[in-house]
Amino acid sequence: MSTIRSDFPILNQQVHGKPLVYLDSAATSQKPQQVIEALARYYRQDNANVHRGIHALAERATAEYEQARLKVARFINAASSKEIVFVRNATEAINLVANAWGRANLRPGDEVLITQMEHHANIVPWQLVTQATGATLRYAPVTDAGELDYDALDSLLTGRTKVFAFTAMSNVLGTINPVAELTAKAHAVGAIAVVDGAQSVPHLPTDVQALDVDFLAISSHKMLGPTGVGALYGKRALLDAMPPFMGGGEMIREVFMDHSTWEDAPLKFEAGTPAIGEAIAFGAAVDYLDALGMDWVHQHEMEITHYAWQRLSAIEGLRIIGPGPERRGGLLAFTLADVHPHDVAAVLDMQGVAVRAGHHCAQPIHDRYGIPATTRASFYIYNTPEEVDVLAAALERARELFSF
């Protein structure tokens, strides 16, 4: 653990005179030295535009950019790196599918099914595309315990369903959804499965071929990589059949005055100059996680989460939302009596503890539980049980301050 922590220079600092305890990795993870260095090295040595140049730097930049694509493909066991489209973030990945696949395939009478536990990134693009195409948006409900309601889900999945889009792990409830099972349910009614992997890919081993998902949205900045880059995995046949989402340079084969022809996927979906250095550093983040092993990452987070669950549930007035620790990933969202989550987070910040407070870009699931907001502590590879102790002590301090 001390070797992991020493790879993250940012963790070694004081905030308000207290050692920083960073428990906000579900919002964005910290970056190891190896990732920071990969980004700096690219700008120091190799900076050039990709795919077009005929000089040494351009060839090097292109080779590294394509190598990063291969690393991401291997990390999720995609059949080919041609199935990986670099995008800006998980949000753009979902917007790409909603626009490119959705506009070409959705008609009035068709249905898009999402769940009540989605992040706004997996809600709003489907609202926009169903409004534009005349299709209908439906929601699979969530139980009081924070799981999908499977009986309701089975009755909502019908021959009208063309897309079932769901998160692999909720960023509020922490619920880990059974992706293979849900994908099979989608396929059984002839729908495609679009999976939001923003919270799962950084934390759990992912094998897209075994899961049989059609599309998977991935965010680099939540898995030790830089902001400004993410990936969309798509099955080759689906990507090939899809029209482009954005037009411009890089994605074309030939441009005439009245029409153009496209590159093959994935370049067909990468209009304009991509985030080259960021993609290369994303590759370095994948290398870092690969070296740790995703089984270790998951195991470590399970241990921290079990411990945090135990410590936090012993605090009077604290209510964790979502399933028990054995069925969730490494985050806990909670309320503390009727103290506003922003006040809780501000008190924790004064103790050096960084958590998130608010609706976490997931208003419908908060509405489901009749609460406007929660405080969320989220864990990653660099967090320790001692940091959970600091969190628990800081929450006790908040209880004293708000005197209940």
CA distance 332 to 379: 9
Q: What is the CA radius of gyration of the chain?
A: 22
Query: Nearer to ligand PMP by C-beta: 19 or 178?
Result: 178
347 is catalytic: no
Cα 332 to the chain's mean position, in Å? 16
Minimum distance from residue 397 beta carbon to ligand PMP (Å): 28
Phi, psi of 115 (to 5 degrees): -120, 165
14-15/353-354 β-pairing: unpaired
Query: Nearer to ligand PMP by C-beta: 189 or 361?
Result: 361
Residue found by looking up tokens 């153009």 in the block: 260
Q: Which two tokens stand for residue 108?
A: 């009035």
Minimum distance from residue 121 beta carbon to ligand PMP (Å): 4
Query: Nearer to ligand PMP by C-beta: 222 or 399?
Result: 222
- The neighbouring-strand residues paired with 144 are none
Minimum distance from residue 198 beta carbon to ligand PMP (Å): 4
Q: Which two tokens stand for residue 345?
A: 């987070």
Residues that bind ligand PMP (CB under 6 A): 89-91, 119, 121-122, 167, 171, 196, 198-199, 219, 230, 361
CA distance 217 to 303: 27
Convert 40-56 into a string of H (helix), E (strand) and C (coil). Answer: HHHHHHHCCCCCCCCCH
Angle at 28 between CA 24 and CA 32, to 5 degrees: 100
Say which of 361, 363, 384, 389 is annotated catalytic: 361
Query: Nearer to ligand PMP by C-beta: 26 or 394?
Result: 26
Residue found by looking up tokens 């619920």 in the block: 175
Minimum distance from residue 376 beta carbon to ligand PMP (Å): 10
Query: Nearer to ligand PMP by C-beta: 312 or 333?
Result: 333
Minimum distance from residue 55 beta carbon to ligand PMP (Å): 33
Tell me the DSSP string of 184-218: HHHHHTT-EEEEE-TTTTTTS---HHHHT-SEEEE
Which residues are catalytic, by number?
361
